[in-house]
């Protein structure tokens, strides 16, 4: 019975010792072995590994990309504009030993330092850039410069910064209204200039049209006067020719025209003549119609 108890105790001790000596490294992890708080070695190969039981400890670090979201902060740009900037950073632990020595065993230890590094780089880089660079295609260049600076400072903590991005860049509320008012004033100025240019163009077109109209009317009037003169000349020639051929008939024809104009329907002419006036000669000489 005593032998069985001793054997059981020995087996239990062996199991406990083996459990303390053996450990597994996952493919997403890298491990730092410490002995009495002092780092001994780094293991990056996944699989089953051995350490000194009860003396050495295993500290695992994630080897994948980790995310860090910095709180929003106000940044003054080169043109003295103010922006509220929210950023996020993606990093990985590349040197577990240096990370342990500078930031501690937990990943949370690096976040406070990383927040300070990112904030300093954002203020330094954005402080030398105008608002247009942050809102245009130059934003990629600005972000690359921020990432480069953050990465240089983060290396002393055993981490590598893969990317730094500005997630949101907003104007402060008091500046937003001022900028909107300025934009509205600028749009109104452009609209006034466009209306003034349109009115000027309309006046120029209207003046040109009036000038062309005056010229056309003058040319038409001149042509009409010429045609009228030519017509009157031709009529005078025809009358003169008719008069030369038969003066008596011509005089009779003109007198009949005068009778029609004076005595015709609708005529309101008033003549004051004596009965023996030459105007009534053809009426006096007309034969009497027998009844």
Q: Is residue 123 part of a domain?
A: yes
Alpha-carbon distance of 281 to 258, in angstroms, equals: 13
Alpha-carbon distance of 218 to 164, in angstroms, equals: 78
Ramachandran region, residue 96 (left: φ > 0; alpha: ψ -120 to 50; beta: rest): alpha
> In terms of domains, do 119 and 29 share one?
no
Q: Is residue 25 part of a domain?
A: yes
pLDDT of residue 288: 54
Q: Is residue 155 part of a domain?
A: yes
Q: Is residue 41 part of a domain?
A: yes
> In terms of domains, do 19 and 50 share one?
yes
pLDDT of residue 289: 47
pLDDT tens digits along 46-74: 888 888 888 888 888 888 888 888 888 88
> Range with the lowest mean pLDDT among 93-97, 106-110, 133-137, 244-248?
244-248
> In terms of domains, do 51 and 88 share one?
no
Q: Which CATH number characterizes residue 97's domain?
A: 3.30.479.30
Query: How confident is the model over 279-284, as a mean pLDDT?
Result: 67
Q: In Å, how far from its chain's centre is CA 151?
A: 34
Q: Containing domain of residue 29, as a range?
A: 2-62
Dihedral angle at the C-alpha atoms of 165, 171, 173, 175, nearest 10 degrees? Answer: 160
Q: Is residue 108 part of a domain?
A: yes
Alpha-carbon distance of 139 to 145, in angstroms, equals: 10
Q: In Å, how far from its chain's centre is CA 3?
A: 89
> In terms of domains, do 108 and 15 share one?
no
Alpha-carbon distance of 218 to 209, in angstroms, equals: 14
Chain-wide mean pLDDT for the chain? Answer: 82
Alpha-carbon distance of 243 to 150, in angstroms, equals: 118
- Domain boundary, last residue among 176, 206, 224: 176
Question: pTM for the full model?
Answer: 0.53
Residue with tokens 């300025």: 182
pLDDT tens digits along 166-210: 887 777 666 666 667 777 888 888 899 999 999 898 999 999 999
> In terms of domains, do 76 and 170 share one?
yes
Task: State the first-to-last Cα distance of the chain, in angstroms, to the nearest integer.
Answer: 185
pLDDT of residue 290: 46
> In terms of domains, do 162 and 89 share one?
yes
- Domain boundary, last residue among 127, 148, 176: 176
Provide the pLDDT confidence category of residue 87 given band limits of 50, 70 and 90: confident
Q: Is the pLDDT of residue 21 over 60?
A: yes
**What residues contact 116, with CB distance under 8 A and at least 6 apart?**
none
Alpha-carbon distance of 167 to 159, in angstroms, equals: 22
pLDDT of residue 59: 87
Alpha-carbon distance of 86 to 246, in angstroms, equals: 114
Specify the number of domains making up the chain: 2
């Amino acid at each position: 019975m005593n032998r069985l108890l001793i054997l059981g105790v020995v087996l239990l001790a062996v199991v406990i010792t083996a459990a303390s000596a053996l450990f597994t490294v996952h493919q997403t992890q890298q491990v730092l072995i410490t002995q009495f708080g002092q780092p001994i070695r780094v293991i990056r190969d996944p699989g089953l590994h051995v350490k000194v039981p009860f003396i050495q400890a295993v500290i695992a670090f994630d080897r994948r990309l980790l995310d860090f979201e910095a709180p929003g902060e106000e940044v003054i740009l080169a043109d003295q504009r103010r922006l509220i900037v929210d950023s996020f950073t993606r990093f990985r632990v590349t040197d577990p030993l240096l990370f342990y020595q500078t930031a501690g065993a937990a990943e949370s230890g690096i976040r406070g330092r990383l927040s300070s590094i990112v904030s300093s780089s954002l203020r330094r880089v954005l402080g030398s850039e105008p608002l247009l660079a942050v809102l245009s295609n130059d934003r990629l260049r600005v972000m690359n410069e921020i990432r480069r600076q953050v990465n240089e400072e983060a290396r002393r903590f055993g981490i590598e910064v893969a990317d730094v991005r500005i997630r949101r860049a907003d104007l402060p509320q008091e500046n937003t209204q001022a900028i909107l008012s300025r934009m509205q004033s600028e749009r109104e100025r452009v609209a006034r200039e466009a209306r003034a240019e349109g009115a000027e163009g309309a006046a120029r077109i209207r003046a040109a049209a009036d000038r062309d109209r005056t010229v056309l009317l003058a040319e038409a009037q001149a042509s009409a006067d010429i045609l009228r003169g030519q017509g009157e000349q031709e009529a005078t020639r025809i009358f003169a020719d008719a008069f030369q051929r038969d003066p008596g008939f011509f005089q009779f024809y003109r007198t009949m025209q005068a009778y029609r104009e004076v005595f015709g329907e609708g005529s309101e002419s008033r003549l004051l003549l004596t009965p023996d006036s030459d105007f009534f000669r053809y009426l006096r000489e007309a034969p009497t119609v027998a009844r």
